[in-house]
Structure 1
């Protein structure tokens, strides 16, 4: 018996040896073309890669195929110099029988600040117009009001909708909270499915034993989906336990774009579900063929293959997503500060607790991570406060679930930019001005301009016209270290971290 076969038997026996007590069908939602390469290849799968495999995905039997979230638009425009809307249209043309999914990130979409309502609503309209018939949304604070209008519009247009309950571990993220948020999501949006979104890979078999039944009890006959990442080493086993407790659909990625920072592998999950007696109607041969295609891409372009991670208890403290961990590693090494990596992780955990336990997903993971870096590098905690941290503390991004540490809040308000109003103001519409400035642009390009500042859309268009490709390096922490070491007393410092541009306004020096 092979090692992996023994592991399968052990898993099944650990679940009580319960094959076929209910032969219901478990749906598979594929994440290979979206979160798989986002987690393992820094979102660098190109449209040509997707189209080369589209016919196989079209016949593989997945319930849905996850295709686009904000980061796919971001990377396509800024780094790959591809038109993301064209990717969407071509994918639907090459896989006409596939229900591709689009995920909307709150009221930010691909920005870090909130966007005007006219941009949000038009974005949802254009997702539908470009082919998406499954549209969902999530909010990093689980503030349902931030996602309700867009989900209602998607449903009015005729799309299937799903709303996410963003998961993390903290004293305030209790089962009772998720039950309350599930009820609110249904009442305000009437979504077709509920997605338990565990971007940090934090769910354990023990937690799903209470959480999944509690959510199932209040969502009626709506489908419950489970999305997680393999950062803890427990996720594959947790998936099987969650199915036993009533989860209807699992998010998986086809190996080798699985495991590590990605989702559990489709091949392993499907095999183990069938061994437990569940029906899984995916085509194994097509899945294997896609796997071969991915191996070929990885070999040709020197991209990494997903591999299981060992359990790391520190992960449950800092809860950083995999992409930011690798980013911290490389950037601290560039700055000659690799020896402070563990210190940075502990500081991240401390900042997260002080800031009322935001879930460590975009944009809050970047906010917390940036503040932790500044605390470590400057040597004086919260002496330098990014604008985004002050805006978060003042409620610009939604309702916090608990209070920020009062001593920390005092430092944030004192040392943050004095230009930020303590009361969030209404954001004026953006599209009329954009239409006036770019009268020849399509509405799709105008929406990209609403999110990507400067000439980035123009550069994408120019690169496409000239047949060019670009992989510009992202900003590093070196600029931050140099800026802080200069000990400037006044002025502004701009730092780029993991796609987030942070402006530190030190004003006239009186509040530094």
Structure 2
């Protein structure tokens, strides 16, 4: 009986997709020890967007969150990953900053570190993987999936071989952020990749936007994949990963062993269900099939943020038109994979095109840099007429040929002589007063109280159908 380990995404990708990354440390801590004992292969705790939301919106110190979680999760490895050479930024950062970031991840308790790149450029991922390996932690490299004429099985086989040979990774992560994998495609892709990576584990990571991810997982495991990424319902389905509850049940029914504690999963599930009810947060539900999703390919995490931002700007009525423009822009830009940062860049350009009524009238700096190769090797050329407009309307300050970035860490240490490296690397990534505001907010909350005592009493009395009660004043 083949064993299928599970990588948990509840504390990272699931709430990123369903709660716009607004899960707080106080939400997590009460169930940390239970999650440690479930039997996961690892627990995915933070990518890079978690740092951004912690600092800018939650006013929580992300490093402190990780230390607190590490104190409670001692058996199961915590994992993180980098967004290639972008980290938290939409722009590239110097290699020594990437190295410092990885060093601080390891110092704060992460034992498995990965990297993904929106162009599947292995050179960009090596900046993270090489440092992590030297620091003695396990590594995983991503095959970022999308649909296009250039993203063939042959391309993914070549990238996987490169990650194994040059990246020396401990696992390969088939990252389908857009929920685009189909049953037919997984049947050819998994055997092709497994053939060249051998005994190195192949992990399946998808999203449920089209409703196909659970079936894709089951067929992928039958085809030879080794692990699945899943989250605990109600933080599952919808734009998030398949639910570990149903995946474990189905895999066991197919004759596989899934080493997770169902009872503990149910307890954690109830915890997050109550939080969702108290705070009015959405709970994931199975999605209906949506053929149009395969055209725009907007990922789960971005979809929830996109809707929220459009609503705040009073532009909700443009949502469908924007998705159509996203599909067009993506094709014109040479099929960038719709994951951060390229999903956001394509989305921003689409918004500008629709709102201004003239396509590429305004060109963000990042779009011009992308088109000129600042972020890595493009797998397909930008449409010539679009490239002309991008170069003409983009900032003249951006050189037509990318230049190497100078080291920044030594300067950073001189600029903040009394700060820790944890603080320094965050100050590099978050400009202005964002760090000061987060630090000024004081200690973050670590306890979560579902109801005030009086509310609890009233609810219990109602349940018992007690209609009369007296309160005694205590001096």
What TM-score do the two structures reach when normalised by structure 1?
A: 0.85
Unaligned runs of 5+ in 2: 447-475
Q: Choose which of 229, 232, 236 in structure 1 pairs with 2:214.
A: 236
> What is the RMSD of the two structures over their aligned residues, measured on CA atoms?
1.4
Change (3 A) 1:434 1:232: same
1:161-172 equivalences under 5 Å are: 161-172=139-150
> 1:92·1:98 contact (CA, 8 Å) conserved in 2?
no
> 2:172·2:203 contact (CA, 8 Å) conserved in 1?
yes
Cα offset for 1:432? 2.1
Q: Choose which of 1, 9, 14 in structure 2 pairs with 1:36.
A: 14
1:210 match: 188
> 1:200·1:360 contact (CA, 8 Å) conserved in 2?
yes
2:471 match: none
Q: Choose which of 229, 232, 238 in structure 2 pairs with 1:260.
A: 238
1:338-487 equivalences under 5 Å are: 338-464=316-442
1:296 match: 274
Q: Partners of 2:23 and 2:173 in 1: how far apart?
A: 25
Q: Partners of 2:309 and 2:271 in 1: how far apart?
A: 32
2:32 match: 54
2:154 match: 176
Q: Partners of 2:74 and 2:309 in 1: how far apart?
A: 42
1:95 match: 73
Q: Deviations over 1:212-239 (max 9, x none)?
A: 1000000011000010000111111111
Cα offset for 1:446? 0.3
> What count of residue pairs does the alignment treat as equivalent?
446
Cα offset for 1:338? 3.8
Cα offset for 1:435? 1.7
1:245 match: 223
1:474 match: none
> 2:6·2:227 contact (CA, 8 Å) conserved in 1?
yes
Change (3 A) 1:328 1:127: closer
Of stretches 190-199 and 320-329 in structure 1, the one that deviates more from structure 2 is 320-329
Q: Secondary structure at the match of 1:436?
A: helix
Change (3 A) 1:98 1:255: same
Q: Partners of 1:179 and 1:185 in 2: how far apart?
A: 10
> 2:60·2:444 contact (CA, 8 Å) conserved in 1?
no
Q: Secondary structure at the match of 2:210?
A: coil
Q: Deviations over 1:111-159 (max 9, x none)?
A: 1111111110011111111111111110011000001132022112111
State yes or no: 1:225 paired with 2:203: yes
Of stretches 125-134 and 219-228 in structure 1, the one that deviates more from structure 2 is 125-134
Q: Choose which of 260, 275, 287 in structure 2 pairs with 1:282.
A: 260
Q: Partners of 2:380 and 2:150 in 1: how far apart?
A: 7
Cα offset for 1:337? 4.2
> 1:55·1:95 contact (CA, 8 Å) conserved in 2?
yes
Q: Choose which of 160, 183, 196 in structure 1 pairs with 2:138.
A: 160
Q: Secondary structure at the match of 2:45?
A: strand
Cα offset for 1:301? 1.8
Cα offset for 1:370? 0.8
Q: Choose which of 190, 194, 204 in structure 1 pairs with 2:172.
A: 194
Larger RCO (CA under 8 A, 6+ residues apart): 2
> 2:20·2:304 contact (CA, 8 Å) conserved in 1?
no
Cα offset for 1:376? 1.1
Cα offset for 1:329? 3.5
Q: Partners of 1:201 and 1:467 in 2: how far apart?
A: 34
Change (3 A) 1:325 1:36: closer
1:67-106 equivalences under 5 Å are: 67-106=45-84
Q: Choose which of 283, 286, 292 in structure 2 pairs with 1:305.
A: 283
Q: Secondary structure at the match of 2:271?
A: helix
Of stretches 225-234 and 342-351 in structure 1, the one that deviates more from structure 2 is 342-351
What TM-score do the two structures reach when normalised by structure 2?
A: 0.92
Change (3 A) 1:326 1:88: closer
Change (3 A) 1:243 1:340: same
Q: Partners of 1:335 and 1:434 in 2: how far apart?
A: 36
Change (3 A) 1:290 1:444: same
Q: Partners of 1:288 and 1:465 in 2: how far apart?
A: 31
Cα offset for 1:333? 4.5
Change (3 A) 1:94 1:338: closer
Cα offset for 1:347? 1.1
Q: Secondary structure at the match of 1:189?
A: coil
Q: Deviations over 1:193-224 (max 9, x none)?
A: 00000000000001001111000000011000
Change (3 A) 1:333 1:445: closer
Cα offset for 1:330? 4.3
